[in-house]
Structure 1
Amino acid sequence: MAIESLPLDSAIVRTLSNISTATLTTVLLKKGLRNVWMRGTIPIDDQQTRQVGRAFTLRFVPAREDLATPESWSSPISTRAAIEAMPPGCIAVVDAMGVTDAGIFGDILCSRMKKRGVAALITDGVVRDIQGVSGTGLPVWCRGVAAPPSVAGLTFVNWQEPIGCGGVAVFPNDVVVADADGAVLIPAKLLDEVLALATEQEQLENWIMSEVEGGAALPGLYPPNAENKARYEAFKAGGKKA
């Protein structure tokens, strides 16, 4: 049975929209999570803005000739049906097994996702009809492009179940943040804690960057020693450089 998709508070989306995936991977590493960056998830447009949403998962398996046919697109279990189940604001995360010679989605499916208010598409596979996909305005992170359809190399089997994408375990309703550095997963149960830590980490790194731009040397600054930690806390308290 498909797992129910949960909404994500708009305040959380706004906060995470201002936190880089680089910062998030650092915070998650400190929490003991090393495998959270989805390999091969590259934005198709270098002007894409950072996207945040709960994961709505889709899963492909290797193609089997009796199942992976154009007729399967009309099946109750199909990418078309999955798209109609996607709620506004979600990020579609697709396990395509890293296959790069069969495009999982093209312009028509991406256009429908955009109309439904889906925030982004992320996959460790590829898309097709790239010019049309770009024209839909749907932000896409993937490995690249291929002309053949998905059934040339993959069989779609389900949505809203645990998957692997780019070597990362993704569960429905985990939170995904994607930017120019790729897509990063935040486990749903760790969201509040990671949100607080990442906000503080981003503020600290912004202060460190201002110090570097002012000519400060890195030793003792990045990471900050006790003296610089005190200066940073004074900066936060006073709203100006200590």
Structure 2
Amino acid sequence: MTVEQSQLAAVAPRLPGTVPAERIATVSVRRHAPSLVAPLLTLPDLCSAVADTLDELGTGSVIPGHLLNRAAGTGRVCGPAITLRYVAVGGDVSANRAAGRGLLIGDRDLYGLAQPGDIAVMDASAAHDTAVLGGLSARWADLAGLAACVVDGTVRDTDSLREVGLAVWSAGRNPACGRYRIEAVELNGPVSLFGRTVRPGDYLVADDDGVCVIPHDDVPAVVERCLASAQAEHELTELLASGRRLEEIVSLLRSRSTPA
């Protein structure tokens, strides 16, 4: 038995088995120590801070809130991605139902591969006209300890999603379910969020402004620079609130930027 097979066997009790094992690209997802990334969650305007840092480092990607909007939950999240890719089955729903097509819905199996704090990233970009996550799925994800679900596609059961409280971002809402319309083709392989590639183990941060994707290997540098930038912004904020006149503040900032 290979390492991957033994790892799959280890998580098998958590998997409903809807998705065949050959469609699970990997069980092993690289994750950083939670203590490394936890400081990001203390930053005000998290996604904006991370987006600025990604620009400075020339890495990662940003998806604005009008494309991936919060559907449920509150606050901000940060965690490693586990991924699921769907394709559209095509054809008529009634015919697909009669033929048994479109029954490979992979969210429950994906959650079984998760560790607490992971973020489920679902690529349903080929089927935006059908919902790939609803109330029962959110309850399953919450029980598995996921921090959030981010869906390039639509979701449904909005009232139930809000009741569960799991953080969910999506491209929109649609009451039509994915059954007989889509099929899971790969778990824990590369996926797309509005054209931006996400790989298992990449880190996502999300808040009301949108979603940022940090490549796994760049996470330490992003955290370090974000914290340094946050400290500089905090000092400027305190200066602006100090009661000094604008002219005094400008003069002080100029003196700080003038080489000795």
- TM-score class normalised by the smaller sequence: 0.7 to 0.9
Cross-structure match for 1:36: 61
Q: Which runs of 5+ in 1 are unaligned?
A: 231-242
In the other structure, the counterpart of 1:238 is: none
TM-score normalised per structure 2? 0.76
Q: How does 1:1-242 map to 2 (within 5 A)?
A: 1-19=25-43, 20-33=46-59, 36-39=61-64, 40-45=67-72, 48-65=74-91, 71=100, 75=104, 78-97=106-125, 99-151=127-179, 153-214=181-242, 217=246, 227-228=256-257
Q: RMSD in angstroms over aligned alpha carbons?
A: 3.0
Following superposition, the deviation at residue 106 of structure 1 comes to 0.8
Deviates more, 1:23-32 or 1:83-92: 83-92
Give 1:38 deviation, angstroms: 2.3
Corresponding residue SS for 1:148: coil
Letter in 2 for 1:149: C
- Deviating more after overlay: 181-190 vs 154-163: 154-163
CA spacing shift, 1:216–1:179, aligned 2, 3 Å: farther
Q: Which has the larger radius of gyration?
A: 2
5+ unaligned residues in a row in structure 2: which ranges? 1-24
Which structure: greater helix fraction?
Answer: 2
Equivalent pairs: percent with the same residue? 24
Residue 226 and residue 123 in structure 1: after superposition, are their counterparts in 2 closer, same or farther (change >3 A)? farther
Give me the whole-angstrom Cα distance separating, in 2, the residues matched to 1:162 and 1:203. Answer: 35
CA distance in structure 2 between the aligned counterparts of 1:96 and 1:150, rounded to whole angstroms: 10
Report the secondary structure of 2:42's partner residue.
coil
CA pair 144-217 structure 1, distance change in 2 beyond 3 A: farther
Q: What is the deviation of 1:74?
A: 5.7
Q: Is the 8 A contact 2:78 2:203 kept in 1?
A: yes
Question: Does the CA-based 8 Å contact 2:27-2:113 persist in structure 1?
Answer: no
TM-score of the superposition, structure 1-length normalised?
0.81
The number of aligned residues is 225
Distance 1:74 1:110 in 2: 19
